[in-house]
């Protein structure tokens, strides 16, 4: 069986688990511990080893092509990759790092910071979050999934981030009915189950985190 | 002709210019100005528009397949993508952001910070830089190029970062003969010419920045 070395609440790790889940690839998960190297790492049973989401997603898509997580249509494919890139750079920087990486322990995110949570940073993250979410809701409403009608890496990448934020109850769902409907569909997929079972020691999730009826 | 909307010293923008150059795709370059959105943006003459390096590099590789910037061999391809991902996440975070984004003006990098350069951050970046460079030199010595014998996105991604650092004279070349030899070969390629012509207003580069004999 394949093995994933990961940080529990780190979006790149969550994205790989979702992608593997959609392709029905069984994998065991190993915590990264104090090894704050370039993660996540994907190890195939035959010894092949991939580091970082660029290499891992490319490997999964080439080795396990069904179902594809990238649309065939060039425009929709470009849009899926735009949203994937945006989630892992702009949204990560402006929102997830400021909220999840402040609240969680370094062992859960791979952050190298050892200082206590800074409320000013968390508040700046919340402001950026409230700017971004309605745009995502509008995409989901217009298209069904974020990049088009087909589930793609865009949905999984944003799902990876929003699920980590939702662990701490940071998403104002009641203000966002369209996005809630999209997230509910995503959260109900079998690939999401392992994420909903995650528990950070000493930091239980908000009650609705793992609920499929909210 | 295609058009690239970019930040002059931002590694993702430099990487796209290098990739386009290797594929001999002519493009004009437009500064991003105050638009600190999700950049770089690549616009084809027919109106197709790609945002972020994931979408742009995928588009360039599919639309202009020759020469390919990803090795055919699966292991070498995984290694090229590992280094690409590492350059754009770990190295960017630990080194380039701490040095180049502190020294340059926001208009050159897309940084949203408006405070003066923080010497403590720059020093931390230099420490991380000195840890990383010998590893890259060892790869170049063992393999010729960073991921193998063939030039790939790994070389261009690291070239994008090191060239921005070199603009400010931050690379201790004399301590790193193997890496210097690799960088000299890269810098001599026609794709590198447009980067060497870059000038930040009010901040001339160190004298050796654009020299091909150093």
Of B54, B59, B85, the CB nearest to A55: B85
Mean pLDDT along residues B55-63: 97
∠ CA A208-A185-A189 to the nearest 5 degrees?
90
* Sign of the torsion angle spanned by Cα atoms A131, A132, A133, A136: positive
- With cut-offs at 50, 70 and 90, classify the pLDDT of residue A200: very high
Q: How does pLDDT run across B150-166, given as a tens digit for each residue?
A: 999 999 999 999 999 99
Kindly state whether residues A85 and A149 are assigned to the same domain: yes
Of A53, A55, A89, the CB nearest to B78: A55
- With cut-offs at 50, 70 and 90, classify the pLDDT of residue A107: confident
| pLDDT reported for residue B212 | 86
Kindly state whether residues A13 and A110 are assigned to the same domain: no
B69 in any annotated domain: no
Whether the pLDDT of residue B99 is over 60: the answer is: yes
| pLDDT reported for residue A139 | 97
Chain A residues contacting B via beta carbons under 8 Å = 38, 48-55, 58-59, 62, 74-75, 77-79, 81-82, 84-86, 89-90
Instruction: Provide the b/e sequence for A38-51 (b: ≥16 CB within 10 Å).
Output: bbbbbbeeeeebbb
Edge-to-edge order in the sheet of strand B49-51: B27-31, B2-6, B41-43, B49-51
How close A207 gets to chain B, by Cα (Å)?
Answer: 33
The CATH code of the domain that includes B131 is 1.20.1050.10
Kindly state whether residues A174 and A140 are assigned to the same domain: yes
Among candidate residues B15, B41, B63, the one where a domain is terminated: B63
| pLDDT reported for residue A36 | 64
Question: Which domain range does residue B200 map to?
Answer: 74-210
ipTM over 0.90: yes
Q: Is the peptide bond before B40 cis (omega within 30 degrees of 0)?
A: yes
Rounded distance, CA B15 to CA B100, Å?
A: 15
Rounded distance, CA A3 to CA A24, Å?
A: 14
Give me chain A's average pLDDT, please: 94
Among candidate residues B37, B63, B89, the one where a domain is terminated: B63
Q: In chain A, what is the straight-line distance between the N-terminal and C-terminal CA atoms, in Å? A: 34
Mean pLDDT along residues A184-197: 96
- With cut-offs at 50, 70 and 90, classify the pLDDT of residue B115: confident
Instruction: Provide the b/e sequence for B66-103 (b: ≥16 CB within 10 Å).
Output: eeebbbeeeebbbbbbbbbbbbbbbbbebbbbbbbbbb
The CATH code of the domain that includes A37 is 3.40.30.10
């Amino acid at each position: 069986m394949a093995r994933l070395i990961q940080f529990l609440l780190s979006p790149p790790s969550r994205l790989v688990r979702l992608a593997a889940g959609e392709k029905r690839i069984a994998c065991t998960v190993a915590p990264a511990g104090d090894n704050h190297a370039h993660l996540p790492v994907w190890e195939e049973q035959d010894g092949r080893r991939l580091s970082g989401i660029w290499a891992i997603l490319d490997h999964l898509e080439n080795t396990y092509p069904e179902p594809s997580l990238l649309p065939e249509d060039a425009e929709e494919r470009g849009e899926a990759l735009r949203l994937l890139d945006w989630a892992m750079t702009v949204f990560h920087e402006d929102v997830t790092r400021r909220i999840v990486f402040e609240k969680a322990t370094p062992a859960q995110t791979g952050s190298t910071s050892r200082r206590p949570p800074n409320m000013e940073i968390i508040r700046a993250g919340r402001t950026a979050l409230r700017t971004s979410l309605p745009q995502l809701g509008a995409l989901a409403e217009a298209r069904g999934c974020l990049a088009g009608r087909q589930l793609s890496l865009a949905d999984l990448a944003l799902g990876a981030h929003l699920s980590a934020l939702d662990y701490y109850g940071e998403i104002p769902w009641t203000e966002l009915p369209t996005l809630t409907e999209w997230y509910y569909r995503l959260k109900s997929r079998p690939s999401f189950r392992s994420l909903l079972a995650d528990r950070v020691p000493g930091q239980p999730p908000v009650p609705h985190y793992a609920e499929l009826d909210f």
